[in-house]
Amino acid sequence: MINYKGIAINNLLAMGPLKKFSNNDFVPKKEIVEDADKEIENFNAAIDSTREILEQLCETQTAEGNDEAAEIIEVQVMMLEDEGYITDITDMISSDKVCSSYAVYEVGNSYAKMFEAMDNEYMQARSADVLDISRRIIRVINGVEGFSLDSKDKVVLVADELGPSDTVKLEKDCILAFVTKKGSDRSHTAILARSMGIPALVVEDMDLDSLFDGMFSIVDGENASFIIEPDDELIEEFDRRLFAQDENNKELETYRDLPSETKSGKKITICANIGCVEDAKAAVENGSEGIGLFRSEFLYIGRDSAPSEEEQFEAYKAVLELFGEKPVVVRTLDIGADKKADYLNLPEEENPALGLRGIRICLTNKELFKVQLRALLRAAVYGNLHVMYPMIISEKEIDDIYAVVNEVEQELIAAKVEYKIPVQGIMIETPAAVIMSETLAKKVSFFSIGTNDLTQYTLAIDRQSKEIDAFYDPHHPAILSMIKTVAENAHKAGIWVGICGALGEDLTETFLEYGIDELSVVPSAVTKIRKVVRNIE
Ligand code: PEP
Ligand code: MG
């Protein structure tokens, strides 16, 4: 038995025989041609055929109601017609006198590398699309059929990489799960796996050579693990989990569009926590009543420089447009401690969780903060934006934040840029903020309690440390008492209060009693909490 750890694209489970999907047939030989013009003609004909294939694929997806898949294929058709890409290929054929499939392969790879090197994560993920298109053209040139599942059994598809056009073409009914070595959770294949509801993992450590068709496997999206040849005991246990997941999902689906209210009619808003635009789509699909926490720092992590104002504006706007009138709470950059971005050159600290993080970074590096605020104020025009500031410990910080917001507003007015001042609130995640909550409530429009950090700072327990896990108790009476106090103080000042830490998935009845107005949880937990609420007297 081998147990690989990976990145879960969703939290779904699957079990069955694996089947390997190989992209090796796409590596063409470098052949020299005599007649370059003829070769360019062949290439142009291949582009036309590829376009037809993709357009047909797009039509089928639209007819089947798979709008998201159809949109992705449409983007591929546009990329296929990209002038730079086509010219680079034809130039290479005529100058190097190489066969068209080799030129497509080389140019495709260099475009993919160029996308990969870009700052923008969305553009990085497009690298898989350009490779996918190039492979498809090469198949057409060489008259090779694409991968097909000549299998009646359902399989766990294992691949080095999987292109989106392959993904949509696969018989959905034959696929139990996707496991790829390469990929990101922003790739189109990941987006499709989410929208198709197919379990998917990215497992970088996987040794593809040691895997063979027919090997039995478990895809565990809840624990991000891929298990090869599990023992009987594990199979039995997993069988039970799969059955339970199926039954549970069917039942939870029925709660998607129901109101979040108790039997006696007490209402609460159930929102979702997200880290990117794709998560927001999952939140809509799961019946979320808004976004309770958009962890904007995920736009800043895993790259070489901070996202530009424009890039951020587009991301916030996209989420706001998805939710219309419903509230979208974007938390300003909460980087530091476990969330790192090397380009910020933050100091090495003895106790990073107690160091330069969250709002402290923004108030120290005002330019960085202003870029984000500008993007937020501009995006606010497109929906019901709420902006939330993390790690607050004092009134002065709120005053300082408002001064920066005011500066940004003046700059936007001077530049005649359209903007709106969003609803502004704070996270309550430090004991100081709890104790000051009566005063702080008079300065802001809402509170959202971050129970993860509140537990860490109140119990003096590092939330990252596995060794002291047993002591980390978010149900500690001190925490519950703090939540109650914060709710009372919020309501006294006439503002709403939510919970966006992980404890929001728990103790629903207690929080309703405290008068908590909103719970924000991972998208997949929205219907689960709604069911709990609707079953409370
Ligand atoms: C929290 O601290 O509870 C919270 C929601 O923020 P994060 O987990 O991102 O620190
Ligand atoms: Mg926090």
CA 463 vs CA 398, 460, 476: distances in Å: 26, 9, 14
Lowest mean pLDDT among 6-15, 392-401, 464-473, 502-511: 464-473
Query: 433-457 pLDDT, tens per residue?
Result: 999 999 999 999 999 999 999 999 9
Percentage of the chain beyond pLDDT 90 is 59
Residue by residue, DSSP assigns 331-342 as: EP---BTTB--G
The side-by-side arrangement of strands in the sheet containing 175-180 is 2-5, 225-228, 216-220, 13-21, 155-159, 175-180, 200-202, 7-8
Quick check: CB of 297 below 6 Å from ligand 1? no
Predicted local distance difference test score (pLDDT) of residue 311: 95
Quick check: CB of 452 below 6 Å from ligand 1? yes
Is the predicted pLDDT of residue 67 greater than 80, yes or no? no
Place of tokens 């939140």: 283
Percentage of the chain beyond pLDDT 70 is 94
The residues near 350 (Cβ < 8 Å, ≥ 6 apart) are none
Query: 134-172 pLDDT, tens per residue?
Result: 888 888 888 766 555 655 678 999 998 887 667 766 777
- The alpha carbon of 97 and the centre of ligand 2 are apart by a number of angstroms equal to 59
Q: What pTM value is reported for the model?
A: 0.68
Query: Can you read off the two tokens belonging to residue 435?
Result: 């104790």
- The alpha carbon of 501 and the centre of ligand 1 are apart by a number of angstroms equal to 5
From the CA of 448, give the closest atom in ligand 1: 5
Predicted local distance difference test score (pLDDT) of residue 59: 85
From the CA of 503, give the closest atom in ligand 1: 3
Quick check: CB of 504 below 6 Å from ligand 1? no
- Tell me how far apart the alpha carbons of residues 409 and 415 are, in angstroms, rounded to a whole number: 10
Is the predicted pLDDT of residue 190 greater than 80, yes or no? no
In the annotation, is 500 catalytic?
yes
Query: In degrees rounded to 5, what are phi and psi of residue 336?
Result: 110, 175
Quick check: CB of 501 below 6 Å from ligand 1? yes
Quick check: CB of 199 below 6 Å from ligand 1? no
Quick check: CB of 451 below 6 Å from ligand 1? yes
Is the predicted pLDDT of residue 525 greater than 80, yes or no? yes
Quick check: CB of 453 below 6 Å from ligand 1? yes
Is the predicted pLDDT of residue 532 greater than 70, yes or no? yes
Q: In terms of pLDDT, which residue wins out, 21 or 215? A: 215
From the CA of 501, give the closest atom in ligand 1: 3
Give the SS3 label for residue 155. strand
- The alpha carbon of 384 and the centre of ligand 2 are apart by a number of angstroms equal to 23
- Kindly tell me the burial class for residue 482, based on how many C-beta atoms sit within 10 Å of its own C-beta (0-12, 13-18, 19 or more): buried
Nearest listed ligand to the Cα of residue 499: 1
281-285 mean pLDDT: 89
Task: Choose, from 188, 271, 362, 386, the residue flagged as catalytic.
Answer: 188
The DSSP code for 10 is S
Q: How many residues does the chain have?
A: 537
Quick check: CB of 455 below 6 Å from ligand 1? no
- Tell me how far apart the alpha carbons of residues 527 and 255 are, in angstroms, rounded to a whole number: 6
Is the predicted pLDDT of residue 203 greater than 90, yes or no? yes
If you take atom 9 of ligand 1, which residue's CA is the nearest one?
A: 295
- The alpha carbon of 270 and the centre of ligand 2 are apart by a number of angstroms equal to 19
Nearest listed ligand to the Cα of residue 452: 1
480-503 mean pLDDT: 97
Is the predicted pLDDT of residue 238 greater than 90, yes or no? yes
Is the predicted pLDDT of residue 119 greater than 80, yes or no? no
43-50: list long-range contacts, CB under 8 Å, 24+ apart: 43/89, 43/90, 43/93, 43/100, 43/103, 43/104, 43/137, 43/141, 46/100, 46/137, 46/140, 46/141, 47/80, 47/86, 47/137, 49/140, 50/80, 50/133, 50/136, 50/137, 50/140
Predicted local distance difference test score (pLDDT) of residue 282: 84
- The alpha carbon of 453 and the centre of ligand 2 are apart by a number of angstroms equal to 5
Predicted local distance difference test score (pLDDT) of residue 168: 67
Give the SS3 label for residue 416. coil
AA identity, residue 409:
E
Quick check: CB of 429 below 6 Å from ligand 1? yes
If you take atom 10 of ligand 1, which residue's CA is the nearest one?
A: 453
366-381 mean pLDDT: 98
Lowest mean pLDDT among 49-53, 151-155, 493-497: 151-155
Query: 352-361 pLDDT, tens per residue?
Result: 889 999 999 9
Is the predicted pLDDT of residue 65 greater than 80, yes or no? no
- The alpha carbon of 375 and the centre of ligand 2 are apart by a number of angstroms equal to 22
Task: Choose, from 99, 271, 276, 500, the residue flagged as catalytic.
Answer: 500
- Tell me how far apart the alpha carbons of residues 188 and 123 are, in angstroms, rounded to a whole number: 11
With contact defined as beta carbons under 8 Å apart, do 320 and 384 qualify? yes
Residue of 294, 392, 452 to mutate, ligand 1, most atoms within 8 A of C-beta: 452
Nearest listed ligand to the Cα of residue 295: 1
- The alpha carbon of 421 and the centre of ligand 2 are apart by a number of angstroms equal to 24
In the annotation, is 491 catalytic?
no
Quick check: CB of 6 below 6 Å from ligand 1? no
Predicted local distance difference test score (pLDDT) of residue 144: 66
Is the predicted pLDDT of residue 72 greater than 90, yes or no? no
Strands 7-8 and 200-202: antiparallel
If you take atom 6 of ligand 1, which residue's CA is the nearest one?
A: 450
